[in-house]
Chain A
Amino acid sequence: MARMKFLCDAERCIDCNACVTACKNEHEVPWGLNRRRVVTLNDGQPGELSVSMACMHCTDAPCASVCPVDCFMQTADGIVLHNKDMCIGCGYCFYACPFGAPQYPQTTNFGSRGKMDKCTFCAGGPQGSNSPEQFEQYGRDRLSEGKLPICAEMCATRSLLAGDGATIGAIYKERVLKRGYGSGAWGWSTAYRDSPTVV
């Protein structure tokens, strides 16, 4: 069975933001919500590295744990989804998320921060259908069409990998060994509590 994961090969990421706009495009994500973003470390200096980051769909997801209404679920593939109808917009999931994935339409929490929005691994929402209602709320469900997340499918340099963890771990390992360097799989062990080096 596949366990879906993300891996961003920082040695290849050039901060082109294709992943960012592809996600926006595919799911019509409104202005102000950034499901995916590219962070550049050591900007402008030797040793500069860019990493594309969104929800990592963690094992034992902290967001799911702290949610007061338990609106999160994890599919059999390991994808962490949440139910926007139940979300009360309290913001705790953002405090718990190591990766800053949850996004909110409102900035103040008076009443609510609005329905939390985040990367769905292009798996749509909990309804499990590709209906217009689900698209409206969560965006498109690519996985049910046999496709992978659009951010990784459109990455300019094949830096961002998405798919079965064993497969993408193997691809990354192959690259690192072949080219002789690699800065590491940022966030992998924080998210998945294992190592990308597959035996």
Chain B
Amino acid sequence: MIFRLVPILMAALLLIAAPARAIEIQSNQPSDDTAALLQKLDVSRMPDRTQGFVHIQDQKAGVLIQPVGRIFRDVHSIGQFWLDAAFIIVAVLSMAALYFLVGSMDFHRDEKGRTILRFTGFERFIHWLVASCFIVLGLTGLNLVFGRSLVQPWLGDDAFAELTHLGKLAHNFLAFPFIAGLAVLTVQWLKHNLPDRTDIVWIKMAGGMFGGPHPPAKKFNAGQKMIYWAAVLGGGALVVTGIALMVPFALTDILGMQLIQVAHSLIAAAMIAVVIGHIYLGTLGVRGSFEAMSTGRVDINWAREHHPLWVADEAAKGKLGPNYL
């Protein structure tokens, strides 16, 4: 018993007796244990982030080692690469499958060729503003992920670098009209995209895409609402992360920047996938839709088939002339 107490007591005594002012520097105490020394030699097997003091103004330089950079590299070069690719490939394949296996959705044209105003000139302008910006943003962004593997080999280094640089400039500049357009788009269609009961029914019936009766919908059906919210939220997330990437370290530290970069890329790929679907449906997938965004006027039967509740609404407001009764 006593023998066990002695070392404890000694340790305690040593602690108390340690001189307050004189310091023997432990790390400089030499040892002759070769093996132990050699083991210590290699101190940084994926250590924690090590940060110290630097005289120079840029305090970021005080981070001596941030080993998570290597993890970022794996996530960026491997994870992000393949996930982004997966999103896009899945989107393309699903739409192809839809087209070839299910076919387009068609409708009965009105013999008199009567049409109803679906989207005003301003709404269409905003849509195309956002859309065209998105396409360029998307392509230039994809170039930053895939360009090195897909484009560089046949374009050559100099031309590719030049192209990518221009692409980056475009990506940064077009961000601003994209943001403005997205903001207006969010506001202008918010009212019509709030979820309600018709959406539940619509979803249960898969919008009538795979056969069966066509469920009713207001101005925007559930599918379109999903696109809207994807655009608003996803787009919004892209805007926030994108701006953070444009002002590095102004808002967050390096770990934050790494996360934001990967997030931006993954969200963008998901958005591209969604937009691929949106484009398919808006052109080949659902005949008669495209006119909504090109001329702004859709065939009245198309409107009655796809958005009867909206048509009724419009009629009640007196937007339809006597021809439509």
Interface residues of A (CB under 8 A from B): 11, 17, 34, 37-43, 46-47, 49, 51, 53, 62, 65-71, 83, 85-92, 94-100, 107-113, 172-173, 176-177, 179-190, 195-197
Contacts and interface: CB of A to CB of B under 8 A. Distances in A.
A181 B30 contact: yes
Nearest to B254: A95
Nearest to B45: A189
B67 A98 contact: yes
A197 B248 contact: no
Contacts of B55: 17, 38
Interface stretch (B92-100, B164-172, B300-308): B164-172
- Count chain B CB atoms within 10 A of each CB in A43, A51, A95, A173 and give the residue with the most: A95
Contact of A51 (B64, B157, B245): B64
B254 A186 contact: no
B42 A196 contact: yes
A96 B37 contact: no
Contacts of A196: 41-42
Nearest to A104: B248
Q: Is the interface of A mostly helix, strand, loop or mixed?
A: loop
Given A34-B58, A34-B61, A186-B43, 16 more contacts: A11-B28, A47-B27, A69-B147, A69-B148, A69-B164, A86-B157, A91-B245, A98-B65, A99-B65, A99-B69, A107-B248, A108-B250, A112-B169, A179-B30, A186-B50, A187-B44
B43 to A, nearest CB: 3
A88 B40 contact: no
A120 B119 CA distance: 58
Contacts of B111: none
Nearest to B147: A68
Given A176-B37, A180-B32, A183-B43, A41 B52 contact: yes
A62 to B, nearest CB: 4
B158 A181 contact: no
25 contacts: A38-B54, A40-B54, A41-B51, A46-B25, A51-B52, A65-B76, A66-B72, A69-B152, A83-B157, A85-B161, A86-B157, A95-B254, A99-B65, A109-B247, A110-B247, A111-B172, A176-B37, A176-B41, A180-B31, A180-B32, A183-B40, A185-B43, A189-B46, A190-B47, A197-B42
